[in-house]
Amino acid sequence: MAVEQEIKDLQAIAAVYKKRGKLPLATQILHAVLQMQETLYGPASPAVAKTLSELGDLYCDRQMYDHGREYLSQAADLWQKQHPERLDVILFADTLARLEQEQGKEPVAEVEPDSEGGSEQAA
């Protein structure tokens, strides 16, 4: 599909801009990618979660921590809903909660035991 190829091309361009330190351009491109993905795949797709995470990383690289935190939290929420049993999702949410705590923020992502008393899940 042509739109999917355009998304891949834009992601590659954003990665090059990030590598070259042109973070505002990379951010702008990833916002366009996010809009395209939400339209094509829906707002809760794994592709959207990945782009949200990339945007969060970019904002943190730009020292815009509140924006980064917002996007990383959205990504963690999507990943937790899609794969509540995966350890990498749990660890991601835990890392985000610790970052928020270190910044003196109220955590938006936290790790709690699941309702069945099994493995931990991000909330």
Q: Which CATH number fits the domain that encloses residue 12?
A: 1.25.40.10
Q: Domain range holding 34?
A: 2-122
pTM score of the predicted model = 0.74
Q: How many domains does the chain have?
A: 1
Q: What is the pLDDT of residue 118?
A: 39
pLDDT at 115 over 70: no
Structure tokens of 54? 């990339």
72 Cβ contact partners less than 8 Å away, ≥ 6 residues apart? 52, 53, 56, 57, 60, 96, 109
What is the DSSP secondary structure assignment for residue 123, as one 8-state letter? -
Q: What is the pLDDT of residue 35?
A: 98
Give the gyration radius of the chain's Cα atoms.
15
Torsion of CA 72, 123, 40, 20, to 10 degrees: 10
